[in-house]
Amino acid sequence: MPETLQNFQVKPSASLNRPRRAHAWHERLVSGLGHLRLAGLRFFWAGLLGRRCSFGKDVRIYECVKLAVESGGNLQLGRSVALQQGVVIAVKSGARVEIQDEGYIGEYTVIASHASITIGSGVLIGPHCSVVDYNHSFRDKLRRMDPAQVESHPVVIGENAWIGAGCRILAGVHIGEGSVIGAGAVVTHDIPAFAIAVGSPAKILKYRE
Ligand SMILES: CC(C)(COP(=O)(O)OP(=O)(O)OC[C@H]1O[C@@H](n2cnc3c(N)ncnc32)[C@H](O)[C@@H]1OP(=O)(O)O)[C@@H](O)C(=O)NCCC(=O)NCCS
């Protein structure tokens, strides 16, 4: 694991899984600061140092969530954001991921940013999705693929959108407010507000009434 990446895994809120005794004082400290109830806080604080991270009130982070925020990366989780089991959020140096109030990220979804990913308030993202804002540089066919060489374009998901299970949201896409993306869609172009789009590449099926 690169030294610049600080990973931390956290347990679910106390109502679902009582934190281990050894972390009881951590619990009290955290709930006083941000209403987060997390075990493994030692790692949590280490993750915050040198990084710009903020967590709103009543954020819920479930088992095996991985927040990999590089130094110089910026992660913002708004009020009542829920990160379900196995979610991975990777924020590269200079990049920014923001999940606004009451955002819900389903199990094993991956959000990876080299630039900027903004997920609006009330957005529901189903399980096993990916939201990425970069491509690896591939134009020069003679050049060896290099994980560090990317072309990135911001992604925005408007408020109250619903992204069905297993969707792929690709670089540069803007998904409009209140739109619905059907299960398994690959979104390569912008989707207007209140559209229902399905397929690969995602096409508009109809609009919400
Ligand atoms: C997109 C969705 C909301 C559409 O629901 P709907 O308005 O009831 O649409 P319909 O079932 O009437 O389907 C209309 C057409 O779109 C097709 N279609 C529906 N969902 C599709 C999808 N995800 N991918 C491709 N085609 C789809 C249907 O086969 C149908 O085609 P046809 O007219 O040729 O038979 C729904 O199908 C869906 O994908 N929901 C996501 C479910 C999910 O991921 N749940 C996990 C919880 S987050």
- Given a contact cutoff of 8 angstroms between Cβ atoms, the answer to whether 98 and 52 are in contact is no
Tens digit of each residue's pLDDT (9 = 90 or more) over 17-65: 333 333 333 333 333 333 344 544 433 444 555 568 899 999 999 999 9
- Among the listed residues 23, 35, 136, 189, the single catalytic one is 136
Q: Is residue 28 part of a domain?
A: no
Q: Give the amino acid at 148.
A: A
For atom 4 of ligand 1, the residue with the nearest CA is: 182
Q: What CATH number did the domain enclosing 90 receive?
A: 2.160.10.10
Q: How many residues does the chain have?
A: 209
Peptide bond into 12 cis (omega under 30): no
Distance 19 CA to ligand 1 centre (A): 40
Domains: count for the chain: 1
The mean predicted confidence, pLDDT, of the chain is 83
136 catalytic per annotation: yes
pLDDT of residue 52: 82
Q: Which domain holds residue 125?
A: 5-23+33-207
pLDDT of residue 49: 56
| pLDDT tier, 9 (very low <50, low <70, confident <90, very high otherwise) | very low
pLDDT of residue 197: 98
Q: Is residue 79 part of a domain?
A: yes
The conformational region for residue 178 under phi > 0 = left, psi -120 to 50 = alpha, else beta, is: left
Strand pairing category for 174-175 and 155-157: parallel
Cα separation of 86 and 102, whole Å?
18
Instruction: Quote the pTM value.
Output: 0.84
Which ligand 1 atom minimizes the distance to the CA of 126?
A: 48
For atom 30 of ligand 1, the residue with the nearest CA is: 205
Q: Is residue 116 part of a domain?
A: yes
Distance 171 CA to ligand 1 centre (A): 24
pLDDT of residue 100: 98
